[in-house]
């Protein structure tokens, strides 16, 4: 069964399928919840094992499988708590096990902010199935009707009429002899009876995280393991002409060097090639690599220069592109003449720089590979390693550690394939460690984008025509040769669904070629699309001489469902459950203004507020940023208010943390985030020249407000990011009168 993936991944999935099917066979939800229809997993030995996600032992221990990766968003806590809630289990007696990569769990690619969204019902079904069987076992023992039994207090089946009770541990054995109920026979708890869903909870791994015991990919050790650092081709597509490793081999601890095969286009998730230095510890591998003399054939990408490429993209954005949304007749309206406002926006490439760089251990033995790694995408590891080594997917076992951040980088398992290739060549377990320099210079970059926007304003300043063009090397270029246009997934990220009430509106997308690997980074195309649209809305407000909030609300217009957005995605099942509800967008905008005291507070010169709103990953988020700008252009962010409507929320504390973090992530993007290239080589290398927001430049206080909603759950990991940069730049305009149309701020005289 192939199930079309969620909104954000859909287009990329198509791209990948067209490009050779790396994700073929990926199903969104589990093909079956039943354990005995599938391969063995980590909890198959438990006494009662009604579904692939849950099992109960005779001592009452409830085992829950976490099949999604945890990179800090708390999926290892939130999804198991949904199971525990529906099971009426005692959370303190729940043990969470990380799943191996396995199709039986359905989609495991932890990106696109859809872990809770897509598995909320699956987890409830698992908990309800187990509870059903425990209750049935107790009822049978007592010879009463199951409908007379309750599961309160937790972990116990009670027959209130007679006061009899049995613990889940005692019932596990008898329940295991009963048939597993069909879904239609399950009874789900009413929302009012939820114990854990909607209540704040600490991370399952909290204590390990605070004591150094948490095991990340970087912490994996295997007996007989060697360490590898790889000198990658400095230009994408470059090849090794020759190399001299004499000095390398003299470094204490270095064992040997290994030439890596170059990739065959499209590069997808293949290893980049280069020369690997093998040593008996990480440091020696790094030190030995510095001594390598490699003569590179850099190939055609050596002509890539990001500064001239920027001009090319900007020129493209001034020419008609592919129309991705068309309402009314923009050209006819513009021809009438009047007050025209136009603006060019630009955002540079960005790197993910998760604190833990890419790292993997792989062990090749008898034609099979076992990998231990920090991956967002364990089935992708299986696919990629199998393809690169020419073995079967079933012969690749992928253990998933905790991830020291991911942000999309660790969905791409090139580094795991490197370890597998080397282990096969060397006949022993290999740990490939990327240095920070490797990470910055050889990322799957968030793409650069140039956008041109133009509007015609009526006498009240409202746009009667609105044209927008965006140009960016697309993610599809990673999966196909010569892909130069964005796919529907990228367009749907804030471009073909601009939520404004516009009689004449045209959105276009122009072509651009990639010269580095392009990938998705936390909130993806929403970053540049929200930046341009929300900045432009603010520019129009000022052009019209109106308050930015009042103007933004008038652009949004009255509450309604956005018909065009659903129509554009008819094949997407989420369009049915998640219509684009302008009323909810309006509500978060009004609420954030109220929380931030919009219009009620006095701002001295050099200080001010900015607002932006954006829907992404099916969640509605509005943000007000407050700034203080000194005469020297130093920007401080004393306060951020952000309101989100993500439908049903499982763990409000994690959600708050995600939005606090999104404000910091947004600060990094806006202030200093910029990757550039000269002669095809990336100019940045580490945290001194690719700067990330630190304590003293991050927002001092971020207030997060969660709209109470019983709508289906939507995304939380990414949607906090897109509105931040435009809200910040709108605030800077309010404070200084200076408009920022190009990120980062450091390019605009601010620091």
The residue among 162 and 207 lying less far from other proteins, judged by its C-beta, is 207
The residue among 585 and 743 lying less far from other proteins, judged by its C-beta, is 743
Among positions 304-363, residues that touch other proteins (CB under 8 A) are 353-357
Among positions 386-415, residues that touch other proteins (CB under 8 A) are 402-407
Exposure of 543 in the CB half-sphere (CA atoms within 13 A): 22
Q: Is residue 650 a contact point for other proteins (CB under 8 A)?
A: no
- Measured at the CA of 590, the angle between CA 587 and CA 592, to 5 degrees, comes to 105
Q: Minimal distance in Å, beta carbon 384 to other proteins?
A: 23
Q: Is residue 652 a contact point for other proteins (CB under 8 A)?
A: no
Q: Would you say 521 and 446 are in contact if contact means Cβ atoms under 8 Å apart? A: yes
Q: Minimal distance in Å, beta carbon 621 to other proteins?
A: 16
Q: Is residue 253 a contact point for other proteins (CB under 8 A)?
A: yes
Q: Is residue 101 a contact point for other proteins (CB under 8 A)?
A: no
Candidate segments 5-13, 113-121, 175-183, 276-284, binder of other proteins by CB under 8 A: 276-284
Q: Is residue 215 a contact point for other proteins (CB under 8 A)?
A: yes
Taking the C-alpha atoms of residue 449 and residue 346, their distance in angstroms, rounded to an integer, is 6
Count the site residues for other proteins by CB under 8 A.
69
Instruction: Give the residue from 410, 582, 439 showing the smallest Cα distance to 500.
Output: 582
3-state secondary structure of 118: helix
Among 205, 395, 564, 628, binds other proteins (CB under 8 A): 205
What is each CA distance from 717 to 127, 337, 387, 521, 660, in whole angstroms? 25, 44, 31, 11, 11
Among 58, 61, 256, 686, binds other proteins (CB under 8 A): 686
Among 8, 73, 78, 616, binds other proteins (CB under 8 A): 73
Q: Is residue 252 a contact point for other proteins (CB under 8 A)?
A: yes
Q: Minimal distance in Å, beta carbon 448 to other proteins?
A: 21
Among 183, 694, 738, 747, binds other proteins (CB under 8 A): 694
Q: Is residue 655 a contact point for other proteins (CB under 8 A)?
A: no
What are the residue ranges of helices labelled H in 390-516? 414-426, 436-441, 488-492
Candidate segments 237-245, 256-264, 548-556, 681-689, binder of other proteins by CB under 8 A: 681-689
Q: 336 is written with which tokens?
A: 């009438």
What beta strand segments (E) does 216-289 contain?
226-231, 239-244, 254-260, 274-279
Q: Minimal distance in Å, beta carbon 18 to other proteins?
A: 33
The residue among 284 and 730 lying less far from other proteins, judged by its C-beta, is 284
Candidate segments 10-18, 323-331, 490-498, 663-671, binder of other proteins by CB under 8 A: 663-671
Q: 178 is written with which tokens?
A: 């009963």
Q: Is residue 71 a contact point for other proteins (CB under 8 A)?
A: yes
The residue among 74 and 413 lying less far from other proteins, judged by its C-beta, is 74
Q: Indicate the burial class of 207 (C-beta count within 10 angstroms; 0-12, 13-18, 19 or more).
A: exposed
Q: 648 is written with which tokens?
A: 């049903």
Q: Minimal distance in Å, beta carbon 402 to other proteins?
A: 7
Residues in the chain, total:
751
The residue among 360 and 555 lying less far from other proteins, judged by its C-beta, is 360
Among 657, 709, 746, 748, binds other proteins (CB under 8 A): 657
Taking the C-alpha atoms of residue 719 and residue 708, their distance in angstroms, rounded to an integer, is 17
The residue among 102 and 674 lying less far from other proteins, judged by its C-beta, is 674
Q: 320 is written with which tokens?
A: 């008609």
Q: Is residue 661 a contact point for other proteins (CB under 8 A)?
A: yes
Q: Is residue 713 a contact point for other proteins (CB under 8 A)?
A: no
Taking the C-alpha atoms of residue 410 and residue 117, their distance in angstroms, rounded to an integer, is 20
Q: Is residue 219 a contact point for other proteins (CB under 8 A)?
A: yes
Exposure of 441 in the CB half-sphere (CA atoms within 13 A): 21
Among 47, 61, 216, 683, binds other proteins (CB under 8 A): 216
What is each CA distance from 252 to 301, 631, 720, in whole angstroms? 36, 53, 47
The residue among 210 and 332 lying less far from other proteins, judged by its C-beta, is 210
Q: Is residue 702 a contact point for other proteins (CB under 8 A)?
A: yes
Among 121, 395, 628, 653, binds other proteins (CB under 8 A): 653
Contacts of 138 (CB under 8 A, 6+ apart): 149, 157, 159, 166, 171
What beta strand segments (E) does 357-514 contain?
359-365, 368-373, 396-400, 430-433, 449-457, 463-471, 505-510
Q: Is residue 663 a contact point for other proteins (CB under 8 A)?
A: yes
Taking the C-alpha atoms of residue 549 and residue 537, their distance in angstroms, rounded to an integer, is 10
Instruction: Give the residue from 357, 445, 404, 414 showing the smallest Cα distance to 686.
Output: 357
Q: Is residue 443 a contact point for other proteins (CB under 8 A)?
A: no
- Interface with other proteins (CB under 8 A): 70-74, 202-203, 205-216, 218-219, 221, 227, 252-253, 281-284, 286-287, 353-357, 402-407, 433, 435-437, 653, 657-658, 660-665, 686-688, 692-702
């Amino acid at each position: 069964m192939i199930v079309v993936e969620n909104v954000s991944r859909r287009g990329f999935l198509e791209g990948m399928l067209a490009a050779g099917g790396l994700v073929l066979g990926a199903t969104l939800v589990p093909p079956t919840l039943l354990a005995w229809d599938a391969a063995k997993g980590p909890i198959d030995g438990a006494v009662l094992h009604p579904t692939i996600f849950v099992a109960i032992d005779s001592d009452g221990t409830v085992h829950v499988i976490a099949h999604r990766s945890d990179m800090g968003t708390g999926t290892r806590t939130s999804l198991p708590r949904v199971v525990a809630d529906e099971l009426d289990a005692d959370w303190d007696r729940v043990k969470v096990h990380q799943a191996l990569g396995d199709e039986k769990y359905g989609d495991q690619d932890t990106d696109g902010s859809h872990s809770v969204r897509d598995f909320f019902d699956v987890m409830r079904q698992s908990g309800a199935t187990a509870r059903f069987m425990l209750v049935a076992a107790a009822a049978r023992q007592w010879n009463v009707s199951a409908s007379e039994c309750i599961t309160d207090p937790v972990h116990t089946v009670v027959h209130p009429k007679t006061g009899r009770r049995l613990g889940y541990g005692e019932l596990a054995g008898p329940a295991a002899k009963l048939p597993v109920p069909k879904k239609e026979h399950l009874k789900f708890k009413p929302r009012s009876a939820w114990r854990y869903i909607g209540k704040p909870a600490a991370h399952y791994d909290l204590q390990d995280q605070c004591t150094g015991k948490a095991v990340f990919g970087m912490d994996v050790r295997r007996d007989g393991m060697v360490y590898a650092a790889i000198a990658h081709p400095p230009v994408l597509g470059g090849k090794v002409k020759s190399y001299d490793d004499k000095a390398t081999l003299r470094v204490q601890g270095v064992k040997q060097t290994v030439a890596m095969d170059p990739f065959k286009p499209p590069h997808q998730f293949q290893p980049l090639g280069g020369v690997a230095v093998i040593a008996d510890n990480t440091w020696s591998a790094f030190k030995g690599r510095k001594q390598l003399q490699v003569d590179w054939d850099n190939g055609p990408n050596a002509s890539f220069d990001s500064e001239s490429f920027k001009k090319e993209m900007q020129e493209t954005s001034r020419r008609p592109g592919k129309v991705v949304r068309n309402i009314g007749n923009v050209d006819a309206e513009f021809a009438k003449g009047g007050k025209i406002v136009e603006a060019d926006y630009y955002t540079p490439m960005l790197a993910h720089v998760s604190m833990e760089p890419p790292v993997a251990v792989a062990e090749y033995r008898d034609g099979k590979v076992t990998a231990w790694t920090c991956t967002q995408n364990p089935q992708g590891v299986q696919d990629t390693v199998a393809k690169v080594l020419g073995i079967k997917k079933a012969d690749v076992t992928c253990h998933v550690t905790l991830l020291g951040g991911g942000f999309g980088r660790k969905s791409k398992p090139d580094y795991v394939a490197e370890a597998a290739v080397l282990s096969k060549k060397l006949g022993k377990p290999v740990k490939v460690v990327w240095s920070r320099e490797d990470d910055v210079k050889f990322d799957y970059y968030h793409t650069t984008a140039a956008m041109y926007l133009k509007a015609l304003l009526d006498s009240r300043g409202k746009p009667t025509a609105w044209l927008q063009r965006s140009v960016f090397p697309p993610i599809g270029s990673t999966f196909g040769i010569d892909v130069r246009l964005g796919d529907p997934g990228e367009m749907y990220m804030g471009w073909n669904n601009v939520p404004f009430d516009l009689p004449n509106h045209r959105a276009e997308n122009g072509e651009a070629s990639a010269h580095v690997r392009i990938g998705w980074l936390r909130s993806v195309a929403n970053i540049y699309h929200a930046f341009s649209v929300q900045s432009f809305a603010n520019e129009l407000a000022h052009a019209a001489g109106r308050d930015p909030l009042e103007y933004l609300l008038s652009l949004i217009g009255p509450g309604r469902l956005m018909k065009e957005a659903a129509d554009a995605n008819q094949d997407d099942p989420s369009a049915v459950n998640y219509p684009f509800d302008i009323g909810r967008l309006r509500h978060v905008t009004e609420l954030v203004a109220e929380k931030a005291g919009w219009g009620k507070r006095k701002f001295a010169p050099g200080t001010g507020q900015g607002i932006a709103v954006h829907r992404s990953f099916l969640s509605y988020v509005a943000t007000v940023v407050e700034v203080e700008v000194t005469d020297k252009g130093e920007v401080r962010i004393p306060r951020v208010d952000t309101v989100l409507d993500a439908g049903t929320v499982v763990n409000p504390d994690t959600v708050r943390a995600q939005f606090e973090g999104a404000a910091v992530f947004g600060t990094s993007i806006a202030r200093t985030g910029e990757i550039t290239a000269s002669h095809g080589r990336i100019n940045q290398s580490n945290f001194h020249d690719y700067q990330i927001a630190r304590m003293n430049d991050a927002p001092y206080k971020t207030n997060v407000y969660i709209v109470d909603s019983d709508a289906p759950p939507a995304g939380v990991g990414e949607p906090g990011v897109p509105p931040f940069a435009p809200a910040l730049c709108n605030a800077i305009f309010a404070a200084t009168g200076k408009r920022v149309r190009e990120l980062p701020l450091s390019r605009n005289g601010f620091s």
